[in-house]
């Protein structure tokens, strides 16, 4: 089997399963962060256009032009959960499987989500700076007059209720907070009891939630879900959390809301466009608004365990397809 790998060679080699199928596969690595025509040229030069499998970085692009140049292609496999960079329609026309690693990092991202919730409520970035400035006692006195909310006192609203949101709900149970969710297909009463979450319409969720956490895929209908209208329905004491995808958020709308005090703060593990560069408006807020925001560099789902499991599945899918069987986690 020949695999065209549009992702980090170091990462693939680090997490590569130790078995004969993997060892015997011909692996051709090409950097994914370049224009499609350059990828095609590099693949042609490396003799990779006859590969049966493409392994793609979760934020990489596999376009129609590349797919059309690969006559033996049977599988396009995302390394992670995301696959919006893959031209699913072009693959479907050719009968090529497109698969992702659904749920593989749900627990890791859920931990990051709760970290951001607690970080905002406890103002960890600001407080760290205050202590370093020698203002420990002054800050403590300010907070004793009222300034810290316990997570247990909050209503947490989860928008979308897939694998990650479900993991978040389960991890929130010991905190004792109220958890509500919105999704197109509400759960059964038994499942709601298991996850400790109750369904509410979206507008109601925005109206009652102290923390609004995004858990949606990126589609044409979900881009800029968080816009001025969305924010206008939130409490001005509420926090926004995004550990899903940056494209769900209208950056300028959030900047305005933070600057004008229409939301209390925001925690981002992902910001669009990615890579997040210094000129992004969210990184250029005035100091009073900037102190309300916590960033992490899209690391929520990249725990070591997640990659071990993900790469095991990747190669299992390749082997299944080569052997004429259906792979796991088919998205097309």
pLDDT tens per residue across span 122-181: 999 999 999 999 999 999 999 999 889 999 999 999 999 999 999 999 999 999 999 999
Tell me which H or E stretch contains 213.
strand 211-214
The conformation of residue 105, written as its DSSP 8-state character, comes to T
Q: How far apart are CA 251 and CA 309, in angstroms?
A: 33
Are 40 and 64 within 8 A, CB to CB? no
- Is 123 noted as a catalytic residue in this protein? no
Residue 22, domain CATH: 3.40.50.720
Catalytic residue among 36, 274, 291, 316: 274
Spatial separation of the C-alpha atoms in residues 159 and 63, rounded to whole Å: 30
- Catalytic pick among 61, 123, 215, 298: 298
Both tokens of 209, joined, read 């939630």
| 245: annotated active-site residue | yes
pLDDT score of 313: 97
Q: Round the CA-based radius of gyration of the chain to a whole number and report it.
A: 22
Same domain, 251 and 115: yes
Cα angle 24-28-29, degrees, rounded to a multiple of 5: 130
Shared-domain flag, residues 121 and 175: yes
Backbone angles phi and psi of 211, in degrees to 5: -135, 125
Q: Which residues pair with 135 in a beta bridge?
A: none
Reading the block at residue 3, the tokens are: 């695999």
> 193-211 pLDDT, tens per residue?
999 999 999 999 999 999 9
- So what's the pLDDT on residue 165? 98
Active site residue 215: no
**What pLDDT score does 147 carry?**
81
Q: Would you give the distance in Å from CA 60 to the centre of its chain? A: 14
Tell whether 140 and 256 lie within a shared domain: yes
Domain containing 271: what range? 106-295
**How many angstroms separate the CA atoms of 80 and 218, rounded?**
14
Residue in 245, 247, 311, 313 annotated catalytic: 245
Is the domain of 257 the same as that of 126? yes
34-50: pLDDT as tens digits: 999 999 999 999 999 99
| 173: in domain | yes
Looking at the structure, tell me whether residues 201 and 86 fall in a common domain. Answer: no
Tell me the C-alpha to C-alpha distance, in Å, between residue 163 and each of 105, 257, 320: 9, 29, 24
139 and 265 share a domain? yes
pLDDT of 59: 86
Q: At what angle do helices 106-121 and 124-132 cross, to 10 degrees?
A: 50
Say what the pLDDT of residue 144 is. Answer: 93
pLDDT, averaged in runs of 10, over the chain (332 residues): 97 97 98 96 98 95 98 97 93 98 95 98 97 97 91 98 98 98 97 98 98 95 98 98 97 98 98 95 98 97 95 98 97 92
């Amino acid at each position: 089997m020949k695999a065209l790998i549009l992702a980090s060679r170091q990462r693939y080699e680090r997490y590569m399963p130790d078995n004969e199928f993997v060892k015997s596969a011909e692996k051709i690595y090409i950097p994914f962060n370049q224009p499609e025509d350059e990828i095609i040229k590099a693949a042609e030069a490396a003799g990779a256009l006859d590969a049966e499998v493409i392994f793609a970085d979760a934020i990489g692009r596999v376009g129609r032009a590349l797919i059309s140049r690969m006559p033996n292609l049977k599988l396009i496999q995302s390394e992670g959960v995301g696959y919006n960079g893959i031209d699913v329609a072009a693959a479907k026309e050719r009968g090529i499987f497109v698969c992702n690693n659904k749920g593989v990092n749900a627990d890791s991202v859920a931990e990051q989500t709760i970290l951001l919730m607690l970080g905002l409520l406890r103002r960890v970035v600001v407080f760290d700076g205050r202590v370093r400035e020698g203002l420990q006692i002054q800050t403590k006195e300010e907070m004793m007059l009222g300034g810290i909310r316990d997570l247990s006192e909050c209503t947490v609203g989860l928008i979308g209720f897939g694998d990650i949101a479900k993991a978040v709900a389960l991890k929130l149970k010991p905190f004792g907070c109220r958890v509500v969710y919105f999704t197109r297909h509400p759960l059964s009463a038994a499942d709601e009891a298991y996850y400790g979450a109750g369904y509410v319409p979206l507008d109601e969720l925005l109206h009652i939630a102290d923390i609004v956490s995004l858990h949606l895929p990126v589609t044409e209908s979900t881009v800029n879900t968080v816009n001025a209208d969305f924010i206008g329905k939130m409490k001005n004491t509420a926090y926004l959390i995004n550990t899903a995808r940056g494209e769900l958020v209208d950056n300028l709308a959030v900047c305005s809301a933070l600057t004008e005090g229409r939301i209390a703060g925001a925690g981002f593990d992902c910001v669009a466009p990615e890579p997040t560069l210094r000129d992004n408006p969210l990184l250029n807020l005035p100091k009073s608004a900037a102190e309300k925001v916590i960033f992490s560099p899209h690391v929520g789902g990249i725990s070591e365990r997640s990659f071990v499991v993900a790469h095991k599945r990747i190669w299992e899918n390749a082997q299944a397809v080569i052997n004429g069987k259906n792979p796991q986690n088919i998205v097309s």
